């Protein structure tokens, strides 16, 4: 009975179509510009149809959050090839911040927005890629501290320190909090210099690592 399978395929096709168009709108107009009604006209279905494939808007955002994690993982793929754990940590930090600044709409979904998290709690779904990234960073910190004989430091807490600092840098920069505490002549350049210097400061403070 291939009909059920075909229907299943068609259902998945429309789900994919919705997510594909949602992705396009997200990139073009950001999370605020992504509305169910706009998405509906874009895929040439009525708004109500979308609710036959997704429970609500937050579920769509949740699915897109996962797409964002894939994107980020891709941009960080080469990190695993590095020998030196300190270089790995620095690269993770650098790429994390770069991703946050250049792909803010994805980043916002993954680490800042409340909407997709609503769905995580409701479904008790997992945040697999986020946890994996955090665990990997912690393992790098463990290696680094082991090499430096800093055995009193908790690598998990160090990872949290790094994550928080990087996340703070990204969000404060994107929401224009840096351009007001510094002379905001050329926001972009000032911002990049501040972030670069702060990342260096972080590496020196945590690991006495001068790049």
Partner DNA sequence: TGATTTAATAAACAGTGTTTAGTATATTTG
Partner DNA sequence: CAAATATACTAAACACTGTTTATTAAATCA
Binding site for a copy of itself (CB under 8 A): 111-114, 117, 120-121, 126-127, 130-131, 134, 153-154, 157-158, 160-161, 163-169, 171-172, 175-177, 180-181, 194, 197-198, 201-202, 204-206
What CA–CA distance (Å, rounded) separates 188 from 195?
Answer: 11
Minimum CB separation from a copy of itself for residue 177, in Å? 6
The verdict on 151 binding DNA (CB under 7 A) reads: no
CB of residue 27 to DNA, shortest distance in Å: 16
x/- letters, 27..66, toward DNA (CB under 7 A): -------xxxxx-----xxxxxx-xx---xxx--------
Handedness of CA 100, 105, 109, 114 (dihedral sign): positive
User: Quick one: which H or E segment has residue 187?
Assistant: helix 187-207
User: Smallest gap, in angstroms, from Cβ of residue 51 to DNA?
Assistant: 4
Paired tokens of 66: 């996962």
Does residue 4 interact with DNA by CB under 7 A? yes
Q: What is the rounded CA–CA span in Å between residue 17 and residue 54? A: 12
Structure tokens at 57: 């808007």
Alpha carbon dihedral 171, 173, 174, 179, in 10-degree steps, equals: 140
């Amino acid at each position: 009975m291939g009909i059920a399978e075909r229907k299943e395929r068609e259902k998945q096709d429309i789900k994919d179509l919705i997510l594909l168009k949602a992705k396009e709108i997200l990139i073009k107009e950001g999370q605020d510009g992504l509305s169910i009604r706009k998405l509906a006209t874009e895929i040439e279905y009525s708004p109500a149809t979308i609710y036959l494939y997704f429970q609500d808007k937050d579920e769509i955002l949740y699915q897109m959050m996962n797409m964002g994690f894939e994107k980020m993982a891709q941009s960080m793929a080469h990190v695993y090839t590095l020998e030196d754990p300190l270089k790995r940590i620095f690269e993770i930090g650098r790429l994390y911040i770069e991703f946050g600044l250049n792909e803010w709409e994805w980043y916002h979904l993954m680490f800042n927005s409340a909407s997709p998290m609503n769905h995580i709690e409701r479904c008790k779904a997992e945040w697999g890629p986020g946890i994996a990234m955090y665990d990997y960073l912690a393992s790098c910190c463990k290696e680094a501290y082991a090499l430096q004989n800093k055995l009193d430091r908790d690598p998990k807490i160090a990872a949290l320190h790094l994550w928080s600092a990087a996340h703070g840098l990204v969000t404060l920069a994107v929401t224009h909090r840096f351009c007001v505490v510094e002379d905001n002549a050329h926001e972009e350049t000032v911002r990049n210099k501040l972030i670069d210097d702060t990342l260096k400061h972080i590496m020196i403070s945590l690991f006495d690592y001068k790049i």
